[in-house]
Amino acid sequence: MNEADFIAALRALPLHPGARGLNDDAAVLEIGGETLVITHDAMIEGVHYLPDQDMADVAWKLVATNLSDLAAKGAAPIGVLLGHTLGDGDESFLHGLHEVLRHYGTGLLGGDTVGSGKGDGARRTLGLTAIGRASHTPVPSRSGAQIGDALFVTGTIGAAMLGFEALRDGTGADHAAYARPLARVAEGEALAPHVTAMMDVSDGLLLDAYRMAETSEVSIAIDTATCPVADPARRMECLGWGDDYELLFTLPAGAACPVKAVPIGTVEPRGFAPLFVDGEAVTNAQGLGYTHQ
Amino acid sequence: MNEADFIAALRALPLHPGARGLNDDAAVLEIGGETLVITHDAMIEGVHYLPDQDMADVAWKLVATNLSDLAAKGAAPIGVLLGHTLGDGDESFLHGLHEVLRHYGTGLLGGDTVGSGKGDGARRTLGLTAIGRASHTPVPSRSGAQIGDALFVTGTIGAAMLGFEALRDGTGADHAAYARPLARVAEGEALAPHVTAMMDVSDGLLLDAYRMAETSEVSIAIDTATCPVADPARRMECLGWGDDYELLFTLPAGAACPVKAVPIGTVEPRGFAPLFVDGEAVTNAQGLGYTHQ
């Protein structure tokens, strides 16, 4: 089974109503008059990070990517649970974990530490569960984009791609955007009362916009010339790469945007494709961005 | 770093108050008048389950072991988040997941599905976060054992050991206790208002009792002849093996026990060792049960 098959099968299991049909970045749990947002993301050695990467950066990214899912729901972090596999660089990992928890003013709630077992080729898997408190209800979802809305994105897309290449090739160029991404927590909280739909850009802007359109049952038209990219000479590559953790969201036409962000497209009635890129229909998500095999 | 070193270092990080100093089975989160209990446990192929084991059983155990942590806090499950690595037997895994969610009347909240990457020797890691609602506050901890209390355990200790051996050796004998352990959810809820301390027996009765004594700053004296073991001829082996997921708890002397359980020892003033087994002092946890290298 590939990722899509597996997730489709998961949707046939007993789901908690807060799972939002497994179509969103995070689960939403109403508890005692409060609304919690909960997410879990894993990173595998050699898949989500380079085997020789600084483990302090890996710890940072593990936390930041989960907090980015909370940010996309307008939630402020309460705490995290770590699923850690012991291995090389654990001291660095702890150092990075300390830095990222301090940076976001959040704390460790618990988790599990396991040995990876004997033998070569054992790839480490690192998991993190993040819990946050929603700042606004209803909690924004991916599925709320309305016809006539404007599509916005924060930050610069493709910066993580350039950072990855610098790290992989040892060029010495800045790789912080890849190694130490920032979760847009403050922006997510500021946006939550205003957006019709919101998600974080984790697998590539075009793929994530495609998913937003699919879930919202609309079409989204993107004008790539307006997209803020890290390298305009490689515009389409930037828009296909993931790992930027910017926020992608829709606002009603004419609404003022409360954070620094750029309009890059519009929401249209559902046409024969969920996504139109510079007027060209994209009918299949294949090849649009990062997907797991 | 080994597991103990790593966990000691984690304790120096910013901890959420609900982390209980990372000394407990689960974290406790007070949210708007409700109390949530949250836990995360991982299982690694070849470490926590046999590589050729039925993946339906692995899914069952992954959920049951986490719900056992909730049970030890007297919490009823709300939902789970799955951190899944794709691999062989995913159809069976989904089948087992369906069964265990239905058995405990709980649902999937979300999670993450990742590819394990190419290459042989990649061991799969499966993670699960379980969230429950505490049925009683204060939520029982490991650290509350009081001098004069009686120590009890539910069920039969060592049944998982016999099940593991049956499965490993292909004897055809019953291996359900190892493959499909049961979380004592109802017992945990019934006990929560009465116990002074409670935990689940995951790493072996003697080791877990040692930990309860350490955290409670008392000594615990166990009379092994009274311990309900699956094979009396291998009594000490049974008491050293883990995976039984029974509840170990303390009640004030003379208090009626509201569930089926057996008294196996007493809580005493802290002597020169945390644990006394048939009168013999145990000053070191090494070799008492299951620990990760």
Structure tokens given for B210? 């040692």
Structure tokens given for A43? 């990173």
Place B286 in a pLDDT band, splitting at 50, 70 and 90: confident
Look at the block and give the residue holding tokens 């705490």: A79
Q: Name the residue facing B16 among A14, A44, A79 (closest C-beta).
A: A79
Record: contact A110-B39, CB cut-off 8 A: yes
Look at the block and give the residue holding tokens 């007070």: B30
Helices H, strands E: what count in chain A?
8, 12
Query: What integer pLDDT is reported at residue A292 of this predicted model?
Result: 43
Tell me the shortest Cα–Cα distance from B127 to chain A, in angstroms: 7
Return the closest-CA partner of residue B78 out of B31, B43, B42. B31
Record: contact B42-A101, CB cut-off 8 A: no
Backbone angles phi, psi at B191, to 5 degrees: -85, -30
Q: Residue A138, preceding bond cis, omega within 30 degrees?
A: yes
Residue among B49, B109, B199 with most chain A CBs within 10 A, to mutate = B109
Residue A54 labeled ligand binder: no
Parallel, antiparallel, or unpaired: how do β-strands A197-201 and A125-134 relate? unpaired
Record: contact A27-B83, CB cut-off 8 A: no
Query: What integer pLDDT is reported at residue B198 of this predicted model?
Result: 98
Mean pLDDT, range B38-43, rounded to an integer: 95
Query: What integer pLDDT is reported at residue B32 of this predicted model?
Result: 85
Query: What integer pLDDT is reported at residue B163 of this predicted model?
Result: 95
Mean pLDDT, range B256-281, rounded to an integer: 97
Mean pLDDT, range A68-75, rounded to an integer: 98
Backbone angles phi, psi at B29, to 5 degrees: -125, 120
Inform me whether the pLDDT recorded for A214 exceeds 70.
yes
Task: Give Rg (Cα) of chain A.
Answer: 19
| CA–CA gap between residue B133 and residue A180 (Å, rounded) | 35
Inform me whether the pLDDT recorded for B121 exceeds 60.
no
pLDDT in tens, B162-211: 999 999 999 999 999 999 999 999 999 999 999 999 999 999 999 999 99
pLDDT in tens, A168-192: 999 999 999 999 999 999 999 999 9
Mean pLDDT, range A104-133, rounded to an integer: 86
Give the residue, B100 or B121, on which the prediction is more confident. Answer: B100
Inform me whether the pLDDT recorded for A118 exceeds 70.
no
Residue A112 labeled ligand binder: yes
Q: Name the residue facing B13 among A13, A98, A119 (closest C-beta).
A: A98
Return the closest-CA partner of residue B47 out of A89, A127, A91, A113. A113
Query: What integer pLDDT is reported at residue A61 of this predicted model?
Result: 97
Place A91 in a pLDDT band, splitting at 50, 70 and 90: very high
Q: Are A145 and A202 in contact (CB under 8 A)?
A: no
Q: B21-35, B226-240, B279-293: lowest mean pLDDT where?
A: B279-293
Structure tokens given for A229? 């990219």
Contacts of B14 in chain A (CB under 8 A): 98, 101-102, 106-108
Query: What integer pLDDT is reported at residue B293 of this predicted model?
Result: 35
Structure tokens given for A126? 């690192």
Percent of chain A with pLDDT strictly greater than 70: 96
Count Cβ–Cβ pairs < 8 Å, chain A vs chain B: 262
Q: Are A32 and B33 in contact (CB under 8 A)?
A: yes
Contacts of A107 in chain B (CB under 8 A): 13-17, 19
Query: Which residues make Cβ contacts (< 8 Å) with residue B171, sequence separation at least 6?
Result: B165
Inform me whether the pLDDT recorded for A117 exceeds 70.
no
Place B291 in a pLDDT band, splitting at 50, 70 and 90: low
Parallel, antiparallel, or unpaired: how do β-strands A275-277 and A246-251 relate? unpaired
Partners of A249 in the β-ladder: A152, A198
| CA–CA gap between residue B71 and residue B64 (Å, rounded) | 10
- CA dihedral (B83, B86, B91, B92) positive or negative: negative
Parallel, antiparallel, or unpaired: how do β-strands B34-44 and B75-85 relate? unpaired
- The single-letter DSSP state of residue A209 is H
Return the closest-CA partner of residue A97 out of A176, A203, A180, A185. A180
Mean pLDDT of chain A: 93
Q: Name the residue facing A14 among B91, B102, B123 (closest C-beta).
A: B102
| CA–CA gap between residue A134 and residue A30 (Å, rounded) | 10
* Domains within chain B, CATH numbers bracketed: 3-134 (3.30.1330.10), 142-282 (3.90.650.10)
Tell me the shortest Cα–Cα distance from B1 to chain A, in angstroms: 7
Q: Are B229 and B156 in contact (CB under 8 A)?
A: yes
Number of Cβ within 10 Å of residue B273's Cβ equals 17
Number of Cβ within 10 Å of residue B168's Cβ equals 12
Inform me whether the pLDDT recorded for B292 exceeds 60.
no
Contacts of A101 in chain B (CB under 8 A): 13-14
| CA–CA gap between residue A232 and residue B232 (Å, rounded) | 74
| CA–CA gap between residue B166 and residue B156 (Å, rounded) | 17
Percent of chain B with pLDDT strictly greater than 90: 84
Q: Name the residue facing B19 among A12, A110, A119 (closest C-beta).
A: A110
Q: Are B83 and A42 in contact (CB under 8 A)?
A: yes
Inform me whether the pLDDT recorded for A201 exceeds 60.
yes
A67: part of which helix (H) or strand (E)? Answer: helix A55-71
Q: Are B241 and B290 in contact (CB under 8 A)?
A: yes
Q: Locate the DSSP E strands across A57-211.
A: 75-85, 107-114, 125-134, 150-153, 197-201
| CA–CA gap between residue B286 and residue B278 (Å, rounded) | 18
Instruction: Give the SS3 label for residue A89.
Output: coil
- Whole-number Cα distances in Å, A22 to A8, A245, B52, B87: 9, 19, 30, 20
Contacts of A69 in chain B (CB under 8 A): none
Inform me whether the pLDDT recorded for A19 exceeds 80.
yes
Residue among A61, A62, A66, A81 with most chain B CBs within 10 A, to mutate = A81
Instruction: Give the SS3 label for residue B78.
Output: strand
pLDDT in tens, A245-290: 999 999 999 999 999 999 999 999 999 999 999 999 999 888 786 6
Q: Name the residue facing B117 among A44, A106, A119 (closest C-beta).
A: A44
Record: contact A40-B81, CB cut-off 8 A: yes
Q: Name the residue facing B112 among A13, A41, A122 (closest C-beta).
A: A41
Contacts of A108 in chain B (CB under 8 A): 10, 13-16, 19, 22
Q: Are B286 and B232 in contact (CB under 8 A)?
A: no
| Alpha-carbon torsion, ordered B142, B133, B19, B22, to 10 deg | 40
- The single-letter DSSP state of residue B51 is T
Query: What integer pLDDT is reported at residue A119 of this predicted model?
Result: 55
Q: Are A174 and A227 in contact (CB under 8 A)?
A: no
Tell me the shortest Cα–Cα distance from A27 to chain B, in angstroms: 6
Look at the block and give the residue holding tokens 């890996």: A58
Structure tokens given for A188? 């997510």
Tell me the shortest Cα–Cα distance from A237 to chain B, in angstroms: 23
For residue A260, which amino acid is it? K
Give the residue, A235 or A51, on which the prediction is more confident. Answer: A235
Place B119 in a pLDDT band, splitting at 50, 70 and 90: low
Residue A203 labeled ligand binder: yes
Measured in whole angstroms, the distance separating CA A228 from the mean position of its chain's CA atoms is 17
Tell me the shortest Cα–Cα distance from B273 to chain A, in angstroms: 26
Percent of chain B with pLDDT strictly greater than 70: 96
Inform me whether the pLDDT recorded for A291 exceeds 60.
no
- Whole-number Cα distances in Å, B196 to B105, B143, B199, B200, B250: 28, 8, 11, 14, 6
- Whole-number Cα distances in Å, B237 to B163, B170, B230: 13, 20, 10
Query: What integer pLDDT is reported at residue A121 of this predicted model?
Result: 56
Helices H, strands E: what count in chain B?
8, 12
Return the closest-CA partner of residue A187 out of A31, A33, A76. A76
Q: Are B153 and B204 in contact (CB under 8 A)?
A: no
